[in-house]
Amino acid sequence: MAGLLFGSMRDESPTTDETVHLTRGVAFYWGAGSSLSYAHPPLGNALAALPIVLTEPAQDLTRMDGYALGQVAQVGRGLLEHHYEERRRWFFAARGGVAIMALGLGVYLYWLGATLFGPTAGLCALFFYALHPTLIAHGRLMTTDLPVTVVMMLCVGEMLLYLSGRARWHALSAALLAGIALATKYTALALLPVLGSFMLACALLGLGRFAGVARKQAVWTCVKLGLLVALSGLFVINAAYKFDRTGMQVGQILKLPEPMNQVTRGFKGTLLERRSVLKFLPTWLPVPVPYTYVYGMASISVHDRGGHSSTFFGKPQRRGHPAYFPVMLAIKTPLLLLGALAVALAVFLRRRARVSLSALGLGWYAGALLLLATRSSINIGVRHILPMMPALALLGGLGAAWAYRKAGRSQLRTGVFVALAAAHVWGLSWTYPDYISDFNALVGGRRGGEKISIIGEEWGQDMVRLGRELQARGVTSLIFNTDTITGQLELERFGVRVIRAGCPRGTPPGRWVAVNARERARDARGCWAWLSDQTPAFEVNNHVWVYAGTPAVRRPGVRPQNTPLR
């Protein structure tokens, strides 16, 4: 896993979201507070940025344009635009920090599986986790997806150890980890109802630790643990934001100027007054969490209500589809793991749910997260259900271990299992290093999968490859809508000047034009319809199409004619 993580990140240019995550990460140390961390809490970004701040001279971000207004993208541009050649390595240092977290979770996952289910199940779980292409893909990116996955899984594991009768200190560590997760990404808020309901069910039914305990006493224990989680969450969240603007009264919060991004810009500084619970609270009431955390929760809620432009089965959508995440999970999970999960489900049904409490807990955690995800209006990649994948690796390990035992001792059994593992590893080597856009054989691999979903699969990771292809052809100017400043800067490293295309209706003869898969898939205005009868000069990774000798600018309503390259 370490080899795949560190090896595959080298030719992957910074993705669309990594610039803002990197900026938030270094701003945690080099800024006046955590005011830039309103889209996501700061802790995951801050931990990933440690390799940067420990080796690089500090920068005064407070003087940069956009910092006072919370404009993360503008601050990121100021950090990188004139120093990209020397600061480009920051992305890979931060990616290395995330990769170390991923490897650490692998160690814990093996130990947890071996402790709860035995060493064979633990080893199989480690195999499924360490060689899962989606976990490898996001385990080497500077985002919050892998950090929150790590902390949420640690929290679930510690809670299961406590509920299954292990030492009481596991409850303390679970409470602390819950607080850390809440300060890493808002996704972790799902832990509260998911684990809370499971623990309460165990208390009411006398399962695990509560076997033989009076129901009233068991419920009181749940209440005390819930209070401990609440206190831990409040402390860790406030500490992560450096106690910046915490404890303010509702009236004071509503008077503060609001940061704006593409989601909240339409509210013109009145988001909290119009779309948060604060409008229902008395103005004198103090709020025990930082202002930025409150604003972030409101903006995420607005984003979810409004949806996000994406595609599903080739059709544009805005509000999401309830089948999106179940389908994405089915076609992005390796076939070997799907088979092991099918075995585990068959055993569960055969035993009529009479399985270990830990297996029930893992199944409830993964299933509840998937169920919550089906209600989401933001369908921009399987990464939003990444936290359930380590639990699926454990459940798959259970299924594989059961099948291995039932197969009996024979050379045939050993040969079959070795062949299956080798086929899985061969599949990983076949798709190396493009794990972001990996799909299994159920849909014919990547080209079939990207007909179902392209948003989140083409994520700006191909700029290095595009730059090499353009340089080899002597191209020095390209009309192209790069998603972020890093896309432009990556191409400039190869001597290519980028001219923003906007919404083109054609270009002058002889100019080179590129369009990426996401932009073409979401082309509601028909900006790129004129390319339908054009043949690209070349394509990059089935994600970027480059055209030479495109038609001249046309008048509105007039179909463009082919123009030869001059």
pLDDT band for position 508 (cuts 50, 70, 90): low
Confidence class for position 462, pLDDT limits 50, 70, 90: very high
d(CA 76, CA 56): 16
Q: Is the pLDDT confidence value at 563 over 90? A: no
Question: Structural domain of residue 281, as residue ranges?
Answer: 250-306
- Strand-pairing partners, residue 499, are 479
List, for residues 245-296, the tens digit of each pLDDT value.
Answer: 999 999 999 999 888 777 788 888 899 998 889 989 999 999 999 999 999 9
Q: Is residue 371 part of a domain?
A: no
Is the pTM higher than 0.75? The answer reads: yes
Q: Which tens digits make up the pLDDT trace of 311-348? A: 999 888 988 999 999 999 999 999 999 999 999 999 99
Task: Give the CB-side neighbour count of residue 151, counting CA atoms within 13 A.
Answer: 25
Residue 558: pLDDT band by 50, 70, 90 thresholds? very low
- CA of 489: how far to CAs of 387, 479, 484, 523, 566, in Å? 32, 14, 9, 25, 28
| End-to-end Cα, the chain, rounded Å | 49
Amino acid at 56: E
Among 65-74, 125-134, 414-423, 502-511, the range scoring the smallest mean pLDDT is 502-511
Is 73 within a domain?
no
Instruction: Answer whether residue 207 is part of any domain.
Output: no
Residue 259 lies in a domain: yes
Mind listing the pLDDT tens digit for each residue in 357-372? 999 999 999 999 999 9
Percentage helix, strand, coil for the chain under 3-state DSSP, each rounded to 5: 60, 5, 35
Q: What is the pLDDT of residue 549?
A: 64
Whether residue 212 is contained in a domain is answered as no
In a domain, 288, yes or no: yes
Final residue of a domain: which of 306, 324, 347? 306
User: What distance in Å separates the CA atoms of residue 100 and residue 147, rounded to the nearest whole number?
Assistant: 10
Number of structural domains, the chain?
A: 2
Asked whether residue 370 is assigned to any structural domain, the reply reads no
pLDDT beyond 90 at 553? no
Residue with tokens 């969450």: 233
Sorting pLDDT into bands at 50, 70 and 90, what band is 386?
very high
Half-sphere exposure of 7 (CA within 13 A, CB side): 9
In whole angstroms, give the CA distance from residue 499 to residue 484: 13
Q: Please list the residues that pair with 515 across neighbouring strands.
A: 545
State which amino acid sits at residue 102: A
Strand bridging mode 477-479 / 497-499: parallel
Is 191 a domain residue?
no
Token pair 């025990």: residue:
288
The confidence band for 10, taking pLDDT boundaries of 50, 70 and 90, is confident
3-state SS assignment for residue 479: strand
Q: Residue range 381-400: average pLDDT?
A: 97
